Structure formats: structure tokens, C-alpha cells
């Protein structure tokens, strides 16, 4: 969470792609030019090399904290996530009963409680434990993180792993990808819970956005009944100021990662003029079209719900 996403802060330094032209070329994209290729579902070039930014290694520890209410859990996690003194890699908050779906780590989960999972600098683990208790929480796990072979590995239950564990228990669960307002998140939580109750369970991942602000992103569990109701949930989120990158559509422009300036489309026209790469996945692409004519504004594209997974 400390360094933003793939689109932020120069995380992807360069990308090399092979084009699908009559005479294929190898094209190197550096700096801002990488955005021609990122998040385009393989529609505008065959990626052969990626250069990523690195950061100094940190010795990490992992921690599970429990709180009586989601509100208490969110308040505490927000203080850690936004606090400049904490060196953190992961801050994840689960409304009850989400963590109860994590069968392999049941002994660290307290039924009916909200949970927060942390990856924190090992040197700060004792300080974090004390802070949790001072905030009214309890610690159910505090242990070293020794890489991907760590047992238990808390990151296996965060981000969209959460959804997969929930589906193992109840196949009616699916998810959305949401971005809450850093200053109005609590009000937005209340509005969503008032409208959807237990059919909209809050699961938050704190992350740094392109402006360098730490925000409560979310991959909430939502109960699927019909495509119409799922789209209504998406519309309501947007109505109250919650951004949604819809994961239930079958084209790039509807998924929330398409660039509003159409640079990915322009790249596809340059590098894949016959539309051979992942055909149909870029809705605004028309073989032989010009660079700007006939473009449908992103906000006017119709969400197409394909399934609930």
C-alpha cells in the first residue's frame, strides 16, 4: 500500500511490446508512454519485458487484530494506514462475518468480530500490539513474516482472495471493486449498509492513489441475485460518490482501468491494425477507424454483466 498501484509513481518504469503489424516491431515504452499498454487486457501489443521500480527490503511481521465493531476496526486501521510513523505493507479490514470464511486460519478468527490484518515492519510489531489494545482491540496473531512459505500467510486471505474464500462457503457471493471518499467513507458505509444490509459486506484494502493520498479502497462481498440488482448496486455506489471499477463486464472500457484520453485505443490502432489481439475486448475499437472519430464517451457505455465471478 505504500507505493500505489501499477499506474502510479513510476511503478512500471518501462514495457517492451511486440506489435501485430504486417512487419512486427519491438517497441519500448518508457515513463508516461507505458500507459499506452497498461490495463488493456492484452489488446494492444504482446508484452515481452517489464521493468519495475524497486524499494529497499523491509523485515516484516504479520498481525491479526479483532474489534467488537466494524467502526472501531476501521477507525484504528485508518490511523495506522494514514500514519506516517508506521511502516506498513498491508492493512486490510473485514466486517463480520467475512473472516469466518477463512477455514485454514479459524483459530485466529473470533466469531462475530471485525478483523484487521496487518503486514507491519517487524521492529514495530510490539508497538502495534500495544496500540491495538489501547484502542479496545485484541491480538489473535502476532508473528514473523518469512516470505511466501510463512504459515499462516495472511496475504492469502486479502484482496480478491477474500472473495474466493467466501465463495467456497456460499456460492451466492460475488464482489465489486470500489473506491471510497477518504473524508466521507463512514457516511458512505452507513448508506450502503442501510440500503443493502448483510447483502453488502465491507472488506477494505487501504492503498495510495495517484495523488499520493491513502484511501480506503474496497473489494466488498455482495450477494448476487440477478444481473439487474448487481447493476443497481453499482449505480447506487456511484450515486453516493463511491467509485466502482466494474469487474463484471466483458470490455476494457467498462472495467474502470481504461484511460479517458483513449491512449490505449490509439496504441491498438498503431500496433494491432487488424484487431487480432483479444478481439472484442476493446469496445471502442473499429478496424480501420481513425484515431478519434466515432468514440463513445466512457460514461455512456452500457455495462454488460456477464456473470457473477
- Residue entry with cell 519491438: 26
Helix axes 70-82, 185-196, angle to 10 degrees: 150
* Percent of the chain predicted with pLDDT > 70: 90
- How far, in Å, CA of 109 to CA of 111, rounded? 6
- How far, in Å, CA of 43 to CA of 184, rounded? 36
List the end-to-end C-alpha distance of the chain, in Å, as a whole number: 25
CATH 3.30.70.1710 domain extents, the chain: 58-158
User: What is the model's pLDDT at position 41?
Assistant: 87
Q: Can you give the length of the chain in residues?
A: 309
Task: Kindly indicate the confidence band of residue 83, based on its pLDDT and cuts at 50, 70 and 90.
Answer: very high
Summary mean pLDDT of the chain: 90
Q: Which fold has domain 159-248?
A: Alpha-Beta Plaits (3.30.70)
User: What is the model's pLDDT at position 289?
Assistant: 59
Q: What are phi and psi of 290, to 5 degrees?
A: -75, 180
Please tell me the CATH code under which domain 58-158 is placed: 3.30.70.1710
Residues 115, 71: contact at Cβ < 8 Å? no
Task: Kindly indicate the confidence band of residue 208, based on its pLDDT and cuts at 50, 70 and 90.
Answer: confident
Task: Kindly indicate the confidence band of residue 7, based on its pLDDT and cuts at 50, 70 and 90.
Answer: low
pTM for the complete prediction?
Answer: 0.88
Name the strand (E) or helix (H) holding 55: none
pLDDT of 72 over the 90 cut: yes
Q: What is the DSSP letter of 162?
A: H
User: What is the model's pLDDT at position 70?
Assistant: 98
* Percent of the chain predicted with pLDDT > 90: 75
- How far, in Å, CA of 303 to CA of 253, rounded? 9
pLDDT of 309 over the 70 cut: no
- How far, in Å, CA of 279 to CA of 276, rounded? 6
Q: What are phi and psi of 125, to 5 degrees?
A: -60, -45
- Give the lowest-confidence range in 30-44, 58-72, 189-203: 30-44
Task: Find the farthest-apart pair of alpha carbons in the chain and give their distance in angstroms, rounded.
Answer: 66
pLDDT of 305 over the 60 cut: no
- How far, in Å, CA of 239 to CA of 244, rounded? 11
pLDDT of 27 over the 80 cut: yes
Is the preceding peptide bond at 299 cis, omega within 30 degrees of 0?
no
Residue 191 has which C-alpha cell? 448508506
Task: Kindly indicate the confidence band of residue 141, based on its pLDDT and cuts at 50, 70 and 90.
Answer: very high
Nearest residue to 294 (alpha-carbon basis) of 255, 257, 265: 265
pLDDT of 294 over the 80 cut: no
Amino acid at each position: 500500500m505504500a507505493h500505489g498501484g501499477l499506474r502510479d509513481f513510476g511503478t512500471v518504469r518501462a514495457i517492451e511490446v511486440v506489435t501485430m503489424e504486417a512487419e512486427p516491431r519491438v517497441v519500448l515504452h518508457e515513463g508516461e508512454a507505458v500507459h499506452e499498454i497498461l490495463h488493456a487486457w492484452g489488446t494492444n501489443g504482446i508484452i515481452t519485458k517489464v521493468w519495475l521500480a524497486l524499494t529497499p527490503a523491509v523485515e516484516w511481521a504479520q498481525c491479526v487484530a479483532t474489534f467488537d465493531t466494524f467502526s472501531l476496526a476501521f477507525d484504528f486501521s485508518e490511523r495506522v494506514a494514514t500514519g506516517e510513523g508506521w511502516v506498513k505493507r498491508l492493512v486490510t479490514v473485514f466486517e463480520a462475518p467475512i473472516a469466518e470464511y477463512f477455514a485454514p486460519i479459524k483459530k485466529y478468527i473470533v466469531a462475530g468480530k471485525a478483523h484487521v490484518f496487518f503486514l507491519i515492519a517487524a521492529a514495530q510489531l510490539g508497538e502495534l500490539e500495544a496500540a491495538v489494545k489501547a484502542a479496545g482491540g485484541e491480538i489473535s496473531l502476532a508473528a514473523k513474516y518469512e516470505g511466501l512459505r510463512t504459515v499462516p500467510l495472511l496475504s492469502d486471505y486479502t484482496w480478491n482472495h477474500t472473495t474466493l474464500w467466501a465463495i467456497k462457503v456460499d456460492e451466492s457471493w460475488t464482489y465489486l471493486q470500489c473506491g471510497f471518499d477518504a473524508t466521507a467513507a463512514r457516511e458512505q458505509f452507513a448508506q450502503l449498509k442501510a440500503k443493502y444490509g448483510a447483502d453488502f459486506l465491507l472488506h477494505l484494502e487501504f492503498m495510495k492513489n495517484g495523488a499520493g493520498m491513502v484511501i480506503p479502497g474496497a473489494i466488498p462481498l455482495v450477494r448476487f441475485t440477478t444481473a439487474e440488482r448487481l447493476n443497481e448496486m453499482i449505480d447506487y455506489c456511484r450515486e453516493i460518490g463511491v467509485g466502482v471499477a466494474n469487474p463484471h463486464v466483458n470490455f476494457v472500457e467498462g472495467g474502470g482501468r481504461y484511460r479517458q484520453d483513449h491512449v490505449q485505443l490509439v496504441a491498438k490502432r498503431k500496433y494491432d491494425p487488424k484487431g487480432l489481439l483479444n478481439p472484442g475486448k476493446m469496445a471502442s475499437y473499429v478496424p480501420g477507424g481513425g484515431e478519434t472519430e466515432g468514440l463513445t464517451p466512457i460514461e455512456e457505455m452500457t455495462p454488460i454483466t456477464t456473470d457473477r465471478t
